[in-house]
Structure formats: C-alpha cells, structure tokens
Amino acid sequence: MFSDPQFWVAVSFFLFIAAIFNPVRKVLTSNLDTQINEIKSKIDDAEKLKMDAERTLTELKQRQLEVENEINKLKIESDKKIDELKNLSSKKLSEQIEKKKLLADSKIQQLIRDTNIGIKNYITNVAVETAVTILQQNLSNEKKSELIDKSVNDFESILKN
C-alpha cells in the first residue's frame, strides 16, 4: 500500500485540499460576510425608507383631514354669510319696492293703480317662479354662487342710487 503510487497521489491530493481549504474558506467566508453585510445595509436602508414613507403618509392623511375640516368650516361660514346677505338684500329690496309702490299709488287713480298692482304682482310672481325654475334646472352650484354674488352687487348699486 505505501509503495503504490496511487496511494501517494491520493494522500498528496488530500493534503493539497487540506492546505488549500483554510485560505479558500477564509476568502469565501469573507466574501459571504461582505455580501451579507451589504444585504443587511440595503435592508436597513429599505426599512428606513419604508418608515419615512409611512410617516409621510400619516402626515399627509392628517393634513388632508385638517384641510377637509377647514373647508367644511369655510363652507358653513360662507353659507351663513350668504343667508345674511340674502336676508339683508331682501329686506332692503322689499323696503324700496314698498316706497315705490306708495309713490305710484299717490300719482295714479285708484282704478289704474289696482290694475297695475295686480298685473305687476302677477308678472313678478310668474317671472320669479320661472327664473327660479330655470335657475334651479340649468345652473350648477358654482354658477348659482356667481349669480348670487352678482345679484348682491347689483342690489347694492341699486340701493346706492
């Protein structure tokens, strides 16, 4: 067995493998450790990005709720102001109409006065009902708001004259 060359080749092969195993193992281990550390670093970076994204999302959701609440408050306030302006302009318009009616009543005979008032009331009611119907059917909320604002401005200019 000791004189057989195949035995010595096998022994030398195993000794060579044993001699090479430690440096190769160290190189492989260090390469694997480096790759593991790089992967851990990338995972940590990804986790940080995920946490930042979640925090940002939470902040955005909170800001969205705040904005929605603010919009609702502004809408409620604007509705109140619109109602106040409607009431005020309605009162002023009613007062102005009454004054004009009294002046017309004193200048025109009783019969013409009664006829004109009846016609005016009928035309006004029909026109208002028709205008309200047309406006309700054909105008969007934005157009209604614009029309209300324009009407308020027109009423103010009429009241000043």
DSSP labels for the chain?
A: -TT-HHHHHHHHHHHHHHHHHHHHHHHHHHHHHHHHHHHHHHHHHHHHHHHHHHHHHHHHHHHHHHHHHHHHHHHHHHHHHHHHHHHHHHHHHHHHHHHHHHHHHHHS-HHHHHHHHHHHHHHHHHHHHHHHHHHHHH--HHHHHHHHHHHHHHHHHHHH-
Query: 8 and 55 share a domain?
Result: yes
Query: 75 and 120 share a domain?
Result: no
Tens digits of per-residue pLDDT, 95-134?
Answer: 998 888 877 666 666 667 577 678 888 988 998 888 888 8
Neighbours of 156 (CB within 10 A): 13
Above 90 in pLDDT, residue 43?
yes
Question: What percent of the chain has pLDDT above 70?
Answer: 91
What pLDDT is stored for residue 61 in this prediction?
A: 95
What pLDDT is stored for residue 58 in this prediction?
A: 95
Nearby residues of 158 by Cβ (< 8 Å), 6 or more positions away: 96
The answer to whether residue 90 is domain-embedded is no
> Average pLDDT in the 146-155 region?
85
HSE toward the beta carbon, residue 126, CA cutoff 13 A = 6
Give the number of domains in the chain: 2
Query: 112 and 79 share a domain?
Result: no
**Residue 36 is part of which domain span?**
1-85
Contact assessment for residue 21 and residue 15, using Cβ atoms and an 8 Å cutoff: no
Q: Return the residue matching tokens 């157009």.
A: 143
What is the model's pTM? 0.38
Query: 81 and 119 share a domain?
Result: no
Q: Which residue has the higher pLDDT, 116 or 138?
A: 138
Query: 70 and 13 share a domain?
Result: yes
Query: 3 and 65 share a domain?
Result: yes
| pLDDT tier for residue 62 given thresholds of 50, 70 and 90 | very high
- Angstrom CA distances, 123 to 52, 89, 117, stand at 67, 21, 10
Above 90 in pLDDT, residue 64?
yes
Mean pLDDT over each residue of the chain, to the nearest integer = 86
Q: Taking phi first (over 0 means left), then psi (-120 to 50 degrees means alpha), and beta for anything else, what does residue 140 get? A: beta
